[in-house]
Structure 1
């Protein structure tokens, strides 16, 4: 991949968001206020909050979100090694929920089978 691929995607997404914000300014203001309220308050710092956001972005498979949060992490002073640790946790959580729901499926089977017997 070229070095500008993601930078171009970020730029294009910002352009799309400017158009959306112009179309629905009150919704954009509300989202902006929510974002500011979350980012500017609480015991976690900006970098930690961006790590959470990135992990969720990976699990939710939101590529524009991933791009924005990686960029924000770089600005917040995160290291590549820290990024790798967060990505490893996102990978684990991508598999973990499947394991948990598989347990529910088995329990459902066992309960229904016991009632049918």
Structure 2
């Protein structure tokens, strides 16, 4: 799969601007929740971004994946940490199915 992450973020900025103009209350509400949840706390911002990335992968949300890879890197995550988080997401996506295998035996 080929993807231009630079083009994604350019379009993302435009789309976010349109949403801000056309649905300001929704944008303020979601933005406020995002900021409250993703700030430093018992979990670091890096840890929260890696969790969000894993969920984005499991949900197959390409914008989420792009955004949270960037934010994880910005928060100091290494390539190895990102790949390890991705591995956990893959395991959790497949793990629940694996637990039901005995039902077919």
TM-score > 0.5 by shorter chain = yes
Equivalents in 2 of 1:88, 1:25: separation in Å? 37
**Inter-partner Cα distance in structure 2 for 1:45 and 1:34:** 17
Q: Which sections of structure 2, spanning at least 5 residues, go unmatched?
A: none
- C-alpha distance in 2 between matches for 1:61 and 1:94: 11
Residue by residue over 1:44-68, the C-alpha shift from the partner in whole angstroms, topping out at 9 and shown as x without a partner, is 1110000000000000000011000
**1:22 and 2:10 are equivalent in the alignment:** no
Structure 1: distance between partners of 2:39 and 2:46: 12
Q: Which runs of 4+ in 1 moved over 6 A?
A: none
Aligned residues: 104
What TM-score do the two structures reach when normalised by structure 2? 0.87
1:114 aligns to what?
A: none
2:42 match: secondary structure: coil
* TM-score, normalised via structure 1 length: 0.79
Higher radius of gyration, 1 or 2: 1
Q: How far apart are the structure 2 equivalents of 1:49 and 1:34? A: 14
CA-based RMSD of the aligned residues comes to: 2.2
